[in-house]
Amino acid sequence: MSAAATPVVSGRLLRRTAADRRRAIVDRTMRTLCLIAAILGVIPLTAIIAYIVVNGIQALTVDFVTKPPTASGVNGGALNAILGTIQMVGLASIIAIPVGVLGGVFVHEFSDRRSARVIRFSADVFVGVPSILIGIFAFTILVLPFKQYNAFAGAVALAFLMIPVIMRSTEEILRLVPGSLREASLALGVPMWRTVASVILRTGLPGILTGVMLAVARAAGETAPLLFTALGSRLVNVGDFSKPMDALPLFIYNNARQPFEILNKQAWGAALVLLIFVLTVNILVRARTWRRRPS
């Protein structure tokens, strides 16, 4: 290499080194900002959970989960609310999961582009509708005609909230299923309905269960729709959906407004039970999907 070419090569190396340094600085800066953002996102969640645990653990006794409430709160519990939440969320899941999953399958697998666009847009709007409007709608069609607050109306209102979440999450998960699996199944002569049921849905099941989990968690924490439908009751109601029924969000709402400290503590205890319920649903679904992951 000639002496004249040496300064040119050295200049290129210096410019490349400077560019590498700038890229490294930008990379470290962005990594640091992302880490800070992640920490800022986790801190409020941790603080909320810690605050609920600290305040609710005092009220979480055997009597609290095995006895109905009393007027004064002394020796009372939240058995009616716990059973009510399990029943109404369970019935809402029975209604919403098949409708949401099959709706997502139809949009992704069978509908044309125009109808899929309309259904997708409607589901997105439905997700953003305030829950109190869903409660008013359920009140109008399922409470007023019968002149009776009832748990069935509450379950239907919760199902309305769950359906669009499940539908959109199912559709997005099915988009991730490799098209080669569908084509291989159809090439073997398997009917389309069986391909969807045996190949596509089974492949996307972990993601679909995650969407169902999110919908159940949302329904379990809703208060406004139940104020217009199930109303709440101090009596333990098991299986009679034609009458009012209490739920943990209603129990928290009513007791937190009372001027008595013991009732306020029970509201914190119910909040902790609701948190445990949602956490249990998350753990069960995660355990189910983890076993289905390839090793």
- Contact, 82 vs 248, CB < 8 A? yes
The residue type found at 266 is Q
pLDDT above 70 as % of the chain: 92
Tens of pLDDT, residues 228-286: 999 999 999 999 999 999 999 999 999 999 999 999 999 999 999 999 998 888 887 77
In the predicted structure, residue 107 carries a pLDDT above the cut 90 = yes
Q: Report the percentage of the chain scoring pLDDT > 90.
A: 67
Query: Taking 50 as the threshold, does the pLDDT of residue 295 lie above it?
Result: no
Q: Tens of pLDDT along 41-91?
A: 999 989 999 999 999 998 999 999 999 998 888 888 999 999 999 999 999
Residue 174: both structure tokens together: 């099915």
Whole-prediction pTM: 0.86
- CB neighbours (10 Å) of residue 13? 10
CA distances from 179 to 56, 58, 197 (A): 49, 53, 15
Angle at 288 between CA 42 and CA 293, to 5 degrees: 90
Given a contact cutoff of 8 angstroms between Cβ atoms, the answer to whether 152 and 230 are in contact is no
Provide mean pLDDT across the span 104-117: 91
Least reliable range by pLDDT among 14-18, 154-158, 204-208, 227-231: 14-18
Note the pLDDT tens digit of each residue in 73-84. 888 899 999 999
DSSP state of 198: I
Q: 226, 250 in Cβ contact below 8 A?
A: yes
pLDDT at 4 over 60: no
pLDDT-derived band at 21, boundaries 50, 70, 90: confident
> pLDDT-based confidence at 12, cuts 50/70/90?
low
- CATH hierarchy code of domain 62-291: 1.10.3720.10
The per-residue pLDDT for range 161-193, each reduced to its tens digit, is 999 999 999 999 999 999 898 889 889 898 998
Three-state secondary structure of 79-114: HHHHHHHHHHHHHHHHHHHHHHHHHHHHHHHHCCHH
Q: Which residues contact 144 (CB under 8 A, 6 or more apart)?
A: none
Instruction: Confirm if 78 and 87 have CB atoms less than 8 A apart.
Output: no
Joined together, the tokens standing for residue 150 give: 């009832």
pLDDT in the model for residue 3: 53
In this prediction, residue 10 carries a pLDDT of 61
Q: Are 278 and 217 in contact (CB under 8 A)?
A: yes
**Domain boundaries, given as residue ranges, for the chain:** 1-56, 62-291
Residue carrying structure tokens 């959970």? 49
* Measured distance CA(295)–CA(289) in Å, rounded: 12
Looking at residue 293, its pLDDT comes to: 56
pLDDT of the residue at 271: 95
Cα 151 to Cα 174: distance, rounded to the nearest angstrom = 34
User: Terminal CA-to-CA distance of the chain, rounded, Å?
Assistant: 55
